[in-house]
């Protein structure tokens, strides 16, 4: 009897495996481009298309979060001196919608009158912008929502529009602590805004590890599609 030939086992190369996998649909912020920085209400783009605003305390990681969602490294810039950004920066999405990167709030190393003027501009935008369809608030997962975050939310949540809280820097926490941080933020929202708490989503997020990027993509895509 002739010996049976051994059947060769050919392992699929990583490149072939990648090619056979279904391509990932681009996130809603991918392809975003900067269009204008507005330092006053008169400089805002005419309200015509849906806008999603990103807000957060200075140094919370807002610029890094926007860059991670856009799959870019230098789309949104963080000032070398936190709290010094004086404009709302607008980015155009592939869909035609806009992203508004609001000035960071709460940093103390600027003159009080100037800080109050920036915050008044932010408050006015959040409360009166007719094309604002949703707000993303970026907070440090280790510290949760601070009083100034709650002040911003107090003027926004009453409108019933959706909120996404990105609990950033979650890579600095272990899995159990991340869950605890998310639950703590959800509890804060539920206690302060019980009527509208169901319009809020909290996502553990890390621009470094990319944790939460796809979960945030899903929420933002839903807003833009509605």
Q: What is the pLDDT of residues 166-219, one digit of tens each?
A: 999 999 999 999 999 999 999 999 999 987 888 999 999 999 999 999 999 999
- Sign of the four-CA dihedral 99, 23, 222, 168: negative
**51: CB partners within 8 A, 6+ apart:** 90, 97, 98, 99, 100, 129, 131, 132, 133
- Residue 60's Cβ-count burial label (10 Å; 0-12, 13-18, 19+) is buried
CA distances from 27 to 32, 71, 147, 162 (A): 10, 8, 31, 19
| Other CB atoms within 10 Å distance of the CB of residue 47 | 13
Question: pLDDT at residue 103 above 70?
Answer: yes
In whole angstroms, what is the distance from residue 176 CA to residue 212 CA?
A: 16
Q: What was the pLDDT predicted at 21?
A: 56
**pLDDT tens for each residue of 19-56:** 455 677 899 999 999 999 998 889 999 999 999 999 99
Q: What was the pLDDT predicted at 115?
A: 67
Task: List phi, psi (to 5°) of 94.
Answer: -60, -35
Read off the tokens for 73: 């490294």
- Sign of the four-CA dihedral 91, 209, 157, 226: positive
Q: What was the pLDDT predicted at 22?
A: 63
Q: What was the pLDDT predicted at 16?
A: 47
User: Which CATH superfamily includes the segment(s) 26-225?
Assistant: P-loop containing nucleotide triphosphate hydrolases (3.40.50.300)
Report the length, in residues, of the chain. Answer: 226
């Amino acid at each position: 009897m002739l010996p049976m030939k051994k059947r060769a086992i050919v392992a699929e190369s990583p490149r072939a495996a990648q090619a056979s996998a279904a391509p990932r649909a681009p996130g809603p912020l991918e392809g975003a481009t900067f269009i204008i920085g507005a330092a006053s209400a008169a400089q805002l783009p005419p309200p015509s298309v849906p806008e999603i605003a990103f807000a957060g305390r200075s140094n919370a990681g807002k610029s890094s979060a926007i860059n991670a969602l856009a799959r870019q490294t230098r789309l949104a810039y963080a000032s070398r001196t936190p709290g010094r950004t004086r404009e709302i920066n607008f980015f155009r999405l592939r869909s035609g919608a806009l992203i508004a990167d609001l000035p960071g709030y709460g940093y103390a190393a600027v003159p009080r009158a100037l800080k109050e003027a920036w915050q008044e501009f932010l408050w006015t935008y959040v409360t009166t912008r007719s094309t604002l369809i949703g707000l993303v608030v970026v907070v440090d997962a280790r510290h949760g929502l601070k009083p100034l975050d709650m002040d911003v939310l107090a003027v926004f949540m009453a409108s019933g529009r959706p909120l996404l809280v990105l609990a950033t820097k979650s890579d600095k926490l272990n899995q159990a602590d991340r869950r605890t941080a998310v639950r703590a933020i959800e509890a804060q929202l539920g206690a302060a805004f019980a009527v509208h708490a169901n319009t809020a989503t909290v996502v553990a997020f890390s621009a470094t590890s990319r944790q939460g990027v796809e979960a945030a993509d899903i929420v933002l895509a839903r807003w833009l599609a509605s």
